[in-house]
Structures are given as structure tokens and as C-alpha cells.
Amino acid sequence: MKPAKAENKVWREILTRVAGELGPKEAETWFRPAVCYGTDGQVLYLEVPNNSFRDYITTHYLGLLTEKARELLGPEVIVNVEAAGGQEGLFAGKNAPAPEIAAGSTPRPSKLNPIYTFDTFVVGRSNSFCHAACRAVVANPGTRYNPLFIYGGVGLGKTHLMHAVGHASLERGNGNGGLRISYISCDQFMNEMIAAVKNNKTDAFRRKFRNVDFLLVDDVQFLAGMEGTQVEFFHTFNALYETGAQIVLSSDRPPKDIPKLEERLRTRFEWGLVADIQPPDYETRRAIIARKAETQGVRLPDDVADVIANRITTNIRAIEGVLTRLVAAASHNHADISREFTLEVLGEIAPEDKRISLSMDQLQEITAKYFNLSRRDLISKSRRANIAHARQIAMYLCRAKTGASLSDIGLAFGNRDHTTVLYSLTKVESELAAGDDESATRIIKELENNIERIKN
């Protein structure tokens, strides 16, 4: 059964806007197979061919899809992505009718991602402390770990843990509405506040966020410089803290490193526990790969898992992207997932980690010359887009070719913090793994050729 005409029109417009952000090639690859079964006014229902598509879209694009859907359907709409067929599917198949949803008869699904639970989170040395802290706030909310402030680089599992706290807390409250839990991103909090002021609904906005038992806010670093939002968030924080509600926050950096953050907010963020997540070690990467393959129903030989774990070292999201792409390539080519096939696929997106006898200074010079810049530009404080991009590429090469620590790389690039280096590494790795920036693959290959010529 096809969606209603108006719903088709909305979905086409959403796809147009998504393509404007991602580019037509990437949008076509991931969203052409999706079927929109319409909306009940609160949820936009999408069905994709299989679990691999669902997991990849949910992990990489759910935020963007939700943003574009809300631009057309309103600030409260959420996107529900399900896999086709069996118990995993929202519907039995593409020809099955969409369920009739009477207005007001269906409770609104939680905004929590059903994939992100404690059961699906792989615990290792790099994240065990943060995992334990999240478990503790579920067991004893509103006590000494209040707020719990989680920070770490892109793709390391912060959002996964935030959602896991929400799920576990709902289960502890028997899932019957006994606990009031609100999960929201920082930019969504800001957008809803602006809309409330514009529509004279600030009282309703405040009731929404100040009358909960758990407030989970993702990416609070985006409060930086937002004076009005910081004032509102400050009062929301105080109201919840005074009633004993549990507050959990995530950021890509610790409170002390968030620029233009009011001191009164900074100190409150540090009242409870500040816990960081580090890049996964080899054992954790192997466990993540095994778990991901298992959920996709894929038998992955040990030597294949070894290759992936050795190539992708800093970003869990990139690991998942590589595995999804590998499975898709094997299916398309009717090939077995062997070590040789994996090396062929990875050769295009994650060059082998080869240690060479060039210093970071030399790698900076090579990269700067490639981009028609000076080495001084790379280590400067400039944030110009072309310099920032070249700097990220240079940091990636320094890590891949020398094995230097994040702190050492940061020192070599103008005494930058290790979290800045980690962000650069994960950004480049994500581009290479997801294939969403063909120029990144070409640039890395050309630079590696230049490095090999100098080496030889």
C-alpha cells in the first residue's frame, strides 16, 4: 500500500533537503531503498530493506532525517526506522498495508533509540569507568553522580550510553510511565526554547523540562556562546537539581574546555562526576566488530575481524561503517567475506597503517605543500576552512605514519588539546569509511604516494 499523496510529497521534500546536505550520491545510496509509510502527526514511519540499513541509517543519519522532518512537520516529530520482514520489521513487507492509527489512540514512542541499550554496549578498558557511572545513576538517581557529565571524541559511544541510561531507567520504573524521562539534543533544546518564546509558550516549555525525573542532554558543548539558552538551561538545571532529578550530559570536551560557557554553568556541570571515554583498545575493537557482525547475522572470520580492528583505531562509528560497507560489497558481488576480499574493500577507504621513518615535522611539510600552504599555517590558530581541512588531514597522517600519541600530535600542531586531535582523526576516518567524501580518499592516496617517493 502506497503512502497518501500528501505524505509522499513530504517524504520527497525531506529527501531533497537531505540530499542538499549529503550530496545526491550518498542520499541515493542510503535512502532510495527506504519506504515511507506516512505519519500520525507525531512519528514519521520509515521501512528499510534489512537490519544493516536500519543500523547504519540510525547511527549516521537519524539526526539529519529528524531535523529535516521537523522543518516540514513540526518541532515534536520523531523518525522511526524499522527493518522489513520478520519481527524486526514494522510491516510484513512493502505491499502490506500500513496500520490504521486513530488520532490520540497510540501512545507516542520514546525518543530513545531502541538499539542503544546497555546490552548492546561493548565494555572495554577505554569506556568501563563511564559505563559503570551510567549504571550507577540508574541504580541511584539524583545522588552523588548528579550531574553525570560524559565527554569524549566523535563516535566513541557517548550517545549510546545516554540512551542506555534512559532505557534502563524506564525498565527500573516498570516502563509504565512511573518515571518521566526526557532525552534531547542541545540544539533541539535551543530550537524549542526559541519557538516557545516566539509563540508565547515559555511556561509550557519550562513545565516540559522541569517536571521530569531524568533529563538527558546530548552535545552540551553547543551551549557555547548561546547566552539566552544558557540562562534558560541554568534555571532548568537548578529546578531539577533541587527536586533530586537525575541530570546526564554529554559533550565532546570537558566543562573547563567549553568556550564562552558561563562560569555558573561550568561549575554546576562539575558538581557531580565528570567521566571521559577514550578511543577503544584493540580488544574492545575486536569485541565491537564481533557484536556488530552477530547482530547482522554475518559470519565473520577471525582474520577479517583482525584486519578491520588493526585498520580503524579511533572511531567506533567508523568501525561500524566499514563493516556495513563490507557486508554490502560482499552481497553486491556475491563474494565470501575473506581476508583478501576485505583487504580489497578496505584498500579504498582505510589505507594500511605503515610506520615510516618520517617525523611529524616532515609530514606537516608534505601536507602543507600539497595544499599550497606553509607548515606555519598548519600549526597556527587559524580556523579558515581550507587550513582546518589540511590540518585534519595532516593530523591523520601523523597518527597513521608515526603512531604518535594524541597529546604528542596536539603539541606538534600548536599545542592543541588531545580532544581536538581526536576529533580530527575521527572526522577523517569517518569520511574514508563511509565513503561520503571521495576527495578524502583521493587526497590521502596522493599524499601517501608523495610520502613514499620521499621515503625511497
Which three three-digit cell numbers place residue 409?
600530535
Confidence band, pLDDT 50/70/90 cuts, at residue 239 = very high
182 has a pLDDT exceeding 50? yes
CB 377 within 8 A of CB 368: yes
Q: Which of 200-204, 240-244, 283-287, 341-345 has the lowest mean pLDDT?
A: 341-345
Q: Estimate to the nearest angstrom the gap between the alpha carbon of 207 and the chain centroid.
A: 29
- The CATH number for 214's domain is 3.40.50.300
> How many domains, in total, are found in the chain?
4
d(CA 255, CA 263): 10
Q: What is the mean pLDDT of the chain?
A: 79
| Residue 223 and residue 334 in one domain | no
Q: Are 132 and 123 in contact (CB under 8 A)?
A: no
Cell of 361: 615535522
Inside any domain, residue 99:
no
Residue 427 banded pLDDT, cuts 50, 70, 90: confident
Q: Which one of 257, 277, 297 terminates a domain? A: 277
Question: Would you state the cell numbers that stand for residue 19, as one nine-digit string?
Answer: 540530499
- Co-location of 137 and 235 in the same domain: yes
When pLDDT is cut at 50, 70 and 90, the band that residue 188 belongs to is confident
Residues 136 and 273 in one domain: yes
b or e along 225-241 (b: 16 or more beta carbons within 10 Å of the residue's beta carbon)? ebeebbebbeebbeebb
| Residue 133 within a domain | yes
pLDDT at 1: 37
- Each residue's pLDDT tens digit, 145-171: 999 999 987 778 898 999 999 989 888
Q: Which residue has the cell 522511526?
A: 80
Q: What is the CATH number of the domain that holds 426?
A: 1.10.1750.10
Residues 288, 226 share a domain:
no
- Is 52 within a domain? yes
Query: Among 36-40, 335-339, 393-397, which is the least confidently predicted range?
Result: 36-40
CA 163 to CA 115: how far, in whole Å?
Answer: 9
- Picking from 277, 301, 336, the residue at the C-terminal end of a domain is 277
Q: Is the pLDDT of residue 42 over 50?
A: yes
Q: Which residues constitute the domain of residue 167?
A: 128-277
Pair 167, 235 in one domain: yes
- Residue 117 resides in a domain: no
Tell whether 68 and 189 lie within a shared domain. Answer: no
- Asked whether residue 205 is assigned to any structural domain, the reply reads yes
Q: What number of other Cβ atoms are within 10 A of residue 95's Cβ?
A: 8
- Of the two residues 376 and 431, the one the predictor is more confident about is 376
Residue 94 lies in a domain: no
Whether residue 165 sits in one domain with residue 77: no
Output the domain CATH number for residue 314.
1.10.8.60
265 and 323 part of one domain: no
CB distance 207 to 177 below 8 Å = no
Dihedral, CA atoms, 255, 260, 263, 266, nearest 10 degrees? -20
Higher pLDDT among residues 41 and 66, named by residue: 66
Check pLDDT > 60 for residue 375: yes
* Range scoring the smallest mean pLDDT among 3-7, 59-63, 245-249, 333-337: 3-7
Q: Is there a single domain that holds both residue 333 and residue 391? A: no
**Residue ending a domain, choose from 327, 349, 371:** 349
141 and 270 co-located in one domain:
yes
Q: Is residue 394 part of a domain?
A: yes
Q: Tell me, yes or no, whether 111 lies in a domain.
A: no
pLDDT category at 89 given cuts 50, 70, 90 is very low
Residues 167 and 270 in one domain: yes
Q: Which residues contact 312 (CB under 8 A, 6 or more apart)?
A: 285, 318, 319, 322, 350, 429, 433
Same domain, 146 and 244: yes
Tell me, what CATH number does 25's domain have? 3.30.300.180
